[in-house]
Amino acid sequence: MTETIKTDICVIGAGSGGLSVAAGAVQMGMGVVLIERGKMGGDCLNYGCVPSKALLAAGKQAHAMGKGEVFGIKPAVPEIDFAKVHDHVHGVIGAIEPNDSVERFEGLGVNVIKGAARFIDAKTVEADGKRIEARRFVVATGSSAAVPPIPGLESVPYLTNETIFERKEAPEHLLIIGGGPIGMEMAQAHRRLGAEVTVIEAFKVLGKDDPELAAIVVAQLRKEGIAIREGTGIERVEKEGEGVAVLLKGEDGKPGERITGSHLLVAAGRAPNVDGLDLENAGVEFDKRGIKVDARLRTSNKKIFAIGDVTGGLQFTHVAGYHAGIVIRNALFKIPAKADHSNVPWVTYTDPELAHIGLTEEEARGKYGKVEVLRWPLAENDRAQAERRIEGMAKLISDSHGRILGASIVGPNAGELLQPVVLAKANGLKISALASVIAPYPTMTEVSKRAAGSFYTPTLYSAKTRLLVRFLKLFG
């Protein structure tokens, strides 16, 4: 007979969001069943954030060895053992893995079931020969690499983020379809580790970020020898000996450029993992973009929540973690908490990094009309000069009253440099809060303080202010 398990919460998917819900709920005394058909830790640990940053770190180390001359250090050409780079990447995964393991969660009291889950009806899920009846369900199945409908793609071998970190040899010439964060991070990492790299993007590289700051990143990547083709479609893909060829679309019906490489990486977006869940049986509405949810992250079946990538919104690990907190408040504490994505930051971990929160300049002008654009270049930052890392800037967008609408920073560790702005914006603080903070000297964090301070420069040094100062001098 099929075993039936009754529980308070059933979580489907053991990625960042699902693990956070499971850990939080069980430690608050709820009965929790966690179902995962693949690896514990999900995409972030095994195929995404963790291995990509580990690979980038290896590339950064290799790159630094050839850039010491400005400091009086003779440059060296690194000898790269890609098999050991692979071991480094998987060693990092292994170091973090215990935190997401079956053993840890079973130790917390979670009933972990390894298998594919599918809904039988509105209150029942089946997995690994067991039926789980729960008071609440949380779908946290994440997303996978989307495969674009390019003619010939199905006939050639290609890599995605789920397979590229398994390689123990560097590709001779890596072709990358997609110029978003994943594509550009992998382009720079592989270029610094010895591969030729060509990126092909149908629209604009890093198109979701502020173009003024994205251009600084793109210029650096091109300087390092990465070929970037923007605004061009792909006619077809085909085999080329042991490698692959990409034929770009030409103009006026003429054949386009033909680019050949040894390997192909598809990094053209993500698709929600909804296949096989039989969501229809539970009355859950979804489409190709993901599961439809309300502001409280409830699906059309109010007993079922969906969080993270599978909802089709911002696809970041920290968003999935944030969603987990919203679900905990709704499902456990009956608080009608709503998700607010207006203060979600994101970072592209190229070198230099590109970090952003809120509206871009273009978006802010479109929504508010007149806005204040505040910039401060790293070239005017003493720490950046000391480290010879002056390519970059902080850019803050505010309204005329000093309310922060958005911010972008490009430079070394921009994701860290953005944090004061994230804190200020999320808590409704104005530009004055950033401008008046005492920043330790010399730090690159000063760039956001100095950019904020420039909001007051026109007033502070105006003719009216000078007149006031001269008047006050009359009193001693």
369 is in an annotated binding site: no
| Helix/strand/coil for 36 | strand
13 is in an annotated binding site: no
Q: How far does Cα 202 stand from its chain's mean position?
A: 20
Query: Quick one: tokens of 125?
Result: 């899920």
d(CA 264, CA 283): 39
201 is in an annotated binding site: yes
Rounded to a whole number, what is the largest CA-CA distance in the chain? 97
d(CA 237, CA 324): 40
CA torsion sign for 313, 318, 324, 325 is negative
CA torsion sign for 155, 159, 161, 167 is positive
17 is in an annotated binding site: no
Cis, bond preceding 181 (omega within 30 deg of 0):
no
240 is in an annotated binding site: no
Query: Quick one: tokens of 37?
Result: 């058909």
328: Cβ contacts below 8 Å, ≥ 6 apart = 21, 24, 25, 28
185 is in an annotated binding site: yes
446 is in an annotated binding site: no
Stretch (H or E) spanning 230: strand 227-230
142 is in an annotated binding site: yes
| Helix/strand/coil for 325 | helix
d(CA 96, CA 94): 5
353 is in an annotated binding site: no
| Helix/strand/coil for 82 | helix
Of the candidates 167, 164, 160, the residue with the CA atom closest to the CA atom of residue 83? 167
Of the candidates 154, 182, 156, 159, the residue with the CA atom closest to the CA atom of residue 170? 159
Query: Quick one: tokens of 229?
Result: 């083709």
The one-character DSSP state at 251 is: S
382: Cβ contacts below 8 Å, ≥ 6 apart = 441, 442
309 is in an annotated binding site: yes
476: Cβ contacts below 8 Å, ≥ 6 apart = none
Judged on CB neighbours under 10 Å (0-12, 13-18, 19+), 213 is buried
C-alpha torsion 65→71→72→78, nearest 10: 0
143 is in an annotated binding site: yes
**Binding residue ranges for FAD:** 53, 141-143, 309
**Binding residue ranges:** 53, 141-143, 178-185, 201, 269, 309
**Binding residue ranges for NAD(+):** 178-185, 201, 269
